[in-house]
Chains A and B, each alone.
Chain A
Amino acid sequence: MRRRRRIATALYACAGVVLGLIILVPFLYVLSASLQTESELIRRPPPIVAPNPTVDNYDYVFTGAVPAAYASKELLRGTVTQDVRQIPKGLRNSFIVALGTVLINLLFGTLAAYTFARERIRGLYAAFVFILGSRLLPSVAVAVPIYVGLRSMDLLDSKLGLVLIYSAFTLPFSVWVLTLYFSSLPVDIEEAARIDGCTRFQALRHVVLPLAAPGLAAIAAFSFLFSYSEFLFALFTTETSRSKTIPVIIASVSVNPDASYTLIAVGIVLSMIAPILFALVFRRYITSGLAASLTRG
């Protein structure tokens, strides 16, 4: 029996290693590719590890210093492209837009969810269903009308426009999760706070929000990841580097026939840093947020 257990554990461990590789290898490859020169990379087969790792590619993206390796223009894809210089701005835009969306979710989502959880006024259920139901519509259906609408509000090619769109898409989920969270908090604690002298807002600040912090963290993570990665709407509402987000930029770089693979790799790596960090830091809240929506949904 114990031998069977040990064999089983060994098998599990193997499976675990395989899983880890499946997940990690693509990331490691692209990281390694970003640290190579084009000539090193374009080979059959490509090197496993970067033979002479260099940060020249990153240098170019941020400062415009052309890497030495591109001095010779022998290879077809050896040219260096200006597109890639837009990456830093893209990162900045994505970050700002994502942050804005998170703030709106935290602020307005919390207010609305608290009302849904605690008040019993006629029409609240209808409003709740309305908000949640909005997510049943596929984004493509509202793409053109949103474009027209943004144009009329003079919000095309703007970070604010993106923030509003992404908020509309993330608020339903946030409100849903937060309402569940608030509902699960026992009412008598809030009553005790009111008797202890708290106004509604004081009760919210001192008692309810600290207890709902895990839910808030989960919401922040989801909203951030969604806004940062969104592509379709960013694609057709943005035009200039004023508001182009990183997915749009690296996508256009990747379809640019002049772009070298190493630079594309740099773009990918840079685009993934923020989401990965966020996911790592908020990991616990993401999983518990999902679990909560599961058990109480």
Chain B
Amino acid sequence: MTTAAADRGQARARKSRLGRRTYSWATLAPVLVIVGVFTLVPFVYAAWTSVHRHVLVLQGRPFVGLRNYQNAIEDPLFGDSIKTSLIFVGVSVPLVTLAGLLVALLLNQRVRGFGILLVLVLLPWAVPTVSAGIMWRLLLHGDFGAVDGFLFRIGAIDSYIQWLSNPTLAMASVIGVHAWREFPLAAILFLAGLQTIPPDLAEAARLDRASAWQRFRYVTLPLLKAPLLIVLVYETIVALSVFDLVYVLTGGGPGSATTLFSWFTYTATFKYLNFGEGAALSFIMAAVLLVCIVVYMRVVRLREDVT
């Protein structure tokens, strides 16, 4: 091959590569710009803010190093809200996961009429969290709520329960409403996982005279690992970021009973207008989230090797 032809060929190739490169980045530009401007830039700005004193009512934004972080951690509510969030996550994530799994198993059975359920099950997840929250607030109202009304009518209680003004019950209520709202997503993911299980596997197990529990444990469960991981990660992130529900259900109260970490961050930022500290708290939260994700992935992968 002559060098002239080789050169021409290479030049042509380079030109077409350039054209494709321009085209490719042009198609990515809108997305990159929007995501960059509204996520990356704010993130960098937030990082900057977290190491400066930025309080709305005060003048000046001096660099304060890690003082924001220090102040945040030393705030008594910090430890409390972390504890509260831990309880919340510790209870609601398994609750949602389990509920989702059970519902998925139920819906996987071929029973007439379950088609309607498949439609209904989406509803709690599809409606705005705020709407669901206010709805349940009406239901759980200590004086006129329907839940109390129902329990009273059937004689289960003889005086109205203050769901939202009793610290423990308030927490339980928030967890409950959260679970009501979140379980559909888990259910759908698990259902999708269940439906990818080839029926001959279950048949083979049945022929091998495996009990229902054994079949579940050795055939179904291993194949549910993927949805399990996704559900756990996603629900943990959601549980740590819960805001809307707390706003409309309890406003963080009574007292600080339902002041989750995300709520604490919000009040620090918007009620006390201490943006520096708010930013610091957000980063702490982000770090925690990252750790959770990494831990989950390790754990589930480990189990895969063992089984």
- A-side interface residues toward B, CB under 8 Å? 9, 12-13, 15-16, 19-20, 22-24, 26-27, 29-30, 33, 41-46, 104, 107-109, 111-112, 114-116, 119, 121, 124, 127, 130-131, 134, 136-146, 148-149, 164-165, 167-169, 171-172, 175, 225, 228-229, 231-232, 236, 246-247, 250-251, 254-255, 261, 264-265, 267-268, 271-272, 275-276, 278-280, 283, 286-287, 290-291, 293-295, 297
- The interface residues of chain A lying within 8 Å CB-to-CB of B244 are 231-232, 247
Would you call B279 and A141 a contact (CB within 8 A)? yes
CA distance A283 to B32 in the complex (A): 30
**Within the complex, what minimum Cβ distance (angstroms) separates B37 from chain A?**
7
B45 touches A145 (CB 8 A): yes
- A134 lies within 8 A of B40 (CB): yes
Q: A104-B34, A168-B35, A265-B138 are contacts. A144–B279 as well, Cβ < 8 Å?
A: yes
Chain B's nearest CB lies how many Å from the CB of A24? 6
What total count of A-B pairs have CB within 8 Å?
A: 276
Q: Please pick, from A27, A43, A131, A137, the residue contacting B123 in the complex, using a CB distance under 8 A.
A: A27
Residues of B in contact, count (CB < 8 Å): 97
Distance of A252 from chain B, by nearest CB (Å): 10
Q: Are B289 and A26 in contact (CB under 8 A)?
A: no
Q: Which residues of B lie under 8 Å from residue A272 when comparing CB positions?
A: 127-128, 131
Q: Is B114 an interface residue (CB 8 A)?
A: yes
- Distance in Å: Cβ of B223 to nearest Cβ of chain A: 11
CB within 8 Å of A: which B234-249 residues: 237, 240-241, 243-244, 247-248
Most-contacted residue by chain B among A124, A172, A228, A229 (CB, 10 A):
A229
A108–B132 Cα distance when bound, in Å, is 32
Of B128, B132, B180, B290, most buried by chain A (CB within 10 Å of CB) is B128
A231 touching B262, Cβ below 8 Å: no
Given known contacts A44-B144, A104-B34, A276 and B126 CB-to-CB distance under 8 angstroms: yes
- Nearest Cβ on chain A to B274's Cβ, whole angstroms: 10
12 pairs, A vs B, C-beta closer than 8 Å: A16-B111, A16-B114, A19-B103, A20-B120, A26-B180, A115-B27, A140-B278, A141-B282, A143-B269, A228-B128, A251-B247, A276-B126
B121 contacts the other chain (Cβ, under 8 Å)?
Answer: yes
Main secondary structure of the interface of A (DSSP, over half): helix
Q: Which of A20, A111, A175, A231 has most B Cβ within 10 Å?
A: A231
Is there contact, CB below 8 Å, between A250 and B130? yes
A45 to chain B, nearest CB (A): 3
| 9 new A-B contacts at CB < 8 Å, known A247-B244, A251-B130, A295-B196 | A136-B289, A140-B269, A141-B282, A141-B286, A144-B275, A144-B278, A246-B128, A247-B130, A290-B188
Determine if A137 and B43 form an interchain contact, defined as CB atoms under 8 angstroms apart: yes
Does B49 belong to the interface (CB within 8 Å)? yes
B12 within 8 A of partner (CB): no
Residues of A within 8 A of B134 (CB): 250-251, 254, 264, 267-268
Q: Closest B-chain residue to A272, C-beta based?
A: B127
